[in-house]
Structure 1
Amino acid sequence: MSRDFSASARAQARLHELVPGGAHTYARGSDQYPEHMAPVIVRGAGARVEDLDGNTFVEYGMGLRSVTLGHGYAPVVEAVRDAIGDGVSFTRPSVWELRAAERFLAQVPGADMVKFAKNGSDVTTAAVRLARAATGRPLVAICRSQPFFSTDDWFIGSTAMPGGVPAEHRACTVGFDYNDLDSLRTVLDAHPGQVACVILEAASSTAEPEPGFLAGLRRLADQDGFVLVFDEIICGMRWSRHGAQHVYGVRPDLSCWGKALGNGFPIAALAGRRELMERGGLRTDDSRVFLVSTTHGPETGGLAAYLAVDDEYERRDVVAEMTALGQRLAEAVRGEVAAVGLDDHVRVLGPPVSLLFATLDRDCRPSQAFRTLFLQELLRHGVLGQSFVISAAHTDADLDLTVEAVRRALPVYAQALERGGVEGLLEGRPVAPALREHAAPRRIS
Structure 2
Amino acid sequence: MRDFQRSNAIQERLHELVPGGAHTYARGPDQYPEFMAPVLVRGSGCRVWDCDGNEFIEYGMGLRSVTLGHGYRPVVEAVTRAIADGVNFSRPTELELLAAQDFLSVVPGADMVKFAKNGSDATTAAVRLARAATGRETVAICDQPFFSVDDWFIATTPMNAGIPASATVRFGYNDLDSLAAVLEQHAVACVLMEAATAMAEPEPGFLEGVRALCDRHGALLVFDEMITGFRWATGGAQQVYGVTPDLSTWGKAMGNGFPISALAGKREYMELGGLRTKADRVFLLSTTHGPETGALAAFRAVVHAYATTDPIGRMEQAGKQLADGVNAAAADLKIESHLQVVGRPSCLVFTTKDPQGNPSQEFRTLFLQELLNQGILGQSFVVSAAHTTQDIDQTITACHSAAAVYRQALERGSVSTLLKGRPVAPAMRRHAAPRQI
TM-score with structure 2 setting the length: 0.99
Q: Is the 8 A contact 1:361 1:370 kept in 2?
A: yes
SS in 2 for 1:417: helix
Structure 2 counterpart of 1:225, one-letter code:
G
Equivalent of 2:340, from 340, 347, 353?
347
Q: Which amino acid aligns with 1:305?
A: A
In 1: Cα distance, 2:199 partner to 2:153 partner: 20
Written as runs of structure 1 = structure 2, the 5 A alignment for 1:62-73 is: 62-73=61-72
Indicate the SS of the match to 1:348. Answer: strand
Q: Is 1:421 matched up with 2:419?
A: no
1:402-440 Cα shifts (integer Å, max 9, x gaps): 111111011111111111111010000000000001002
State the match for 1:214 in structure 2.
207
**Alignment equivalent of 1:150, drawn from 148, 151, 156:** 148
1:35 alignment partner in structure 2: 34
Partner of 1:274: 267
Structure 1 residue 181 corresponds to structure 2 residue 179: no
1:164 paired residue number: 162
Matching residue of 1:102: 101
State the distance in 1 between where 2:382 and 2:266 align: 32
How many Å apart are 1:299 and its aligned residue?
A: 0.4
SS of the residue corresponding to residue 233 of structure 1 reads coil
Q: CA deviation at 1:189?
A: 2.0
Kindly indicate whether residue 297 of structure 2 is the aligned counterpart of residue 299 of structure 1: no
Paired with 2:209 and 2:310, the residues of 1 have a C-alpha distance of 31
Residues 30 and 435 of structure 2 are in contact (CA less than 8 Å); yes or no, is this contact kept in structure 1? no
CA RMSD of aligned residues (A): 0.7
* Shift of residue 443, structure 1, vs aligned partner: 4.4
- 1:203-238 C-alpha deviation (Å, 9 max, x unpaired): 001101010000000001111000000000100000
How many residue pairs end up in the alignment?
437
2:3 aligned with 1:4 = yes
Alignment partners' CA distance in 2, 1:372 and 1:419: 16
Report deviation, 1:164: 1.3
Counterpart CA distance in 2 for 1:215 and 1:268 is 26
Distance 1:213 1:222 in 2: 14
Residue in structure 2 matched with residue 123 of structure 1 by the alignment: 122
2:138 aligned partner = 139
Partner of 1:437: 430
Match of 1:205 in 2: 198
Is the CA contact (8 Å cut-off) linking 2:347 and 2:382 kept in structure 1? yes
Tell me the CA shift for residue 442 of structure 1: 5.2
Instruction: Determine the C-alpha separation between the residues in 1 that align with 2:329 and 2:394.
Output: 13
Give 1:386-397 correspondences, 5 Å limit: 386-397=379-390
- Gaps of at least 5 residues in structure 1 are none
Q: 1:201 and 1:286 mapped to 2: Cα distance?
A: 30
User: Counterpart of 1:435 in 2: which secondary structure?
Assistant: coil
Q: Is the 8 A contact 1:32 1:432 kept in 2?
A: yes
Tell me what 1:16 maps to. Answer: 15
What's the CA shift string for 1:12-53, capped at 9, x where partnerless?
000000000000000000000000100000000000000010
Q: Secondary structure at the match of 2:161?
A: coil
Q: TM-score, normalised by structure 1?
A: 0.97
Structure 2: distance between partners of 1:76 and 1:405: 31
In the alignment, structure 1 residue 90 sits paired with structure 2 residue 89: yes
Looking at structure 2, the residues matched to 283 and 157 of structure 1 have their Cα atoms a distance apart, in angstroms, of: 34
Q: CA–CA distance in 2 between the matches of 1:320 and 1:326?
A: 10
8 Å Cα contact 2:88/2:291 also seen in 1: yes
* Cα distance, 1:34–1:245 mapped onto 2, change above 3 Å: same
Equivalent in the alignment of 2:372: 379
Moved over 4 A (4+): none
How far apart, CA to CA, are the structure 2 residues paired with 1:368 and 1:441?
11
CA contact 2:68–2:385 (8 Å) conserved in 1: yes
Letter in 2 for 1:189: E
CA distance in 1, matches of 2:436, 2:88: 43
Give secondary structure in 2 for the equivalent of 1:163: coil
User: 1:119–1:268: 8 Å Cα contact kept in structure 2?
Assistant: yes
Distance apart, 1:186 and its partner CA = 1.4
Q: Is the contact made by 1:382 and 1:401 (CA closer than 8 Å) also made in structure 2?
A: no
1:230 pairs with one of 223, 228, 231: 223
CA displacement at 1:239 relative to structure 2: 0.2
* Cα contact 1:383–1:405 (8 A) shared by 2: yes
Q: Partners of 1:13 and 1:96 in 2: how far apart?
A: 42
Partners of 2:83 and 2:435 in 1: how far apart?
45
Q: Which amino acid aligns with 2:147?
A: F
Alpha-carbon offset, residue 441 of structure 1: 4.7
Report if aligned partners of 2:119, 2:251 keep a CA contact under 8 Å in 1.
yes
User: Given that residues 425 and 435 in structure 2 are in contact (C-alpha distance below 8 angstroms), is that contact kept between their aligned partners in structure 1?
Assistant: no
SS at match of 2:350: strand
Aligned partner of residue 271 in structure 1, secondary structure: strand
Counterparts of 1:263 and 1:59, CA distance in 2: 15
User: Residue type of the partner of 1:5?
Assistant: F
Give the letter for the 2:73 counterpart.
A
2: CA distance, partners of 1:139 / 1:180? 19
Q: Which residue of 2 aligns with 1:337?
A: 330
Q: Any idea what SS the aligned residue of 1:250 has?
A: coil
Structure 1 position 254 matched with structure 2 position 247? yes
Q: What amino acid maps onto 1:182 in structure 2?
A: D
Which residues of 2 match residues 316-327 of structure 1 at below 5 A? Answer: 316-327=309-320
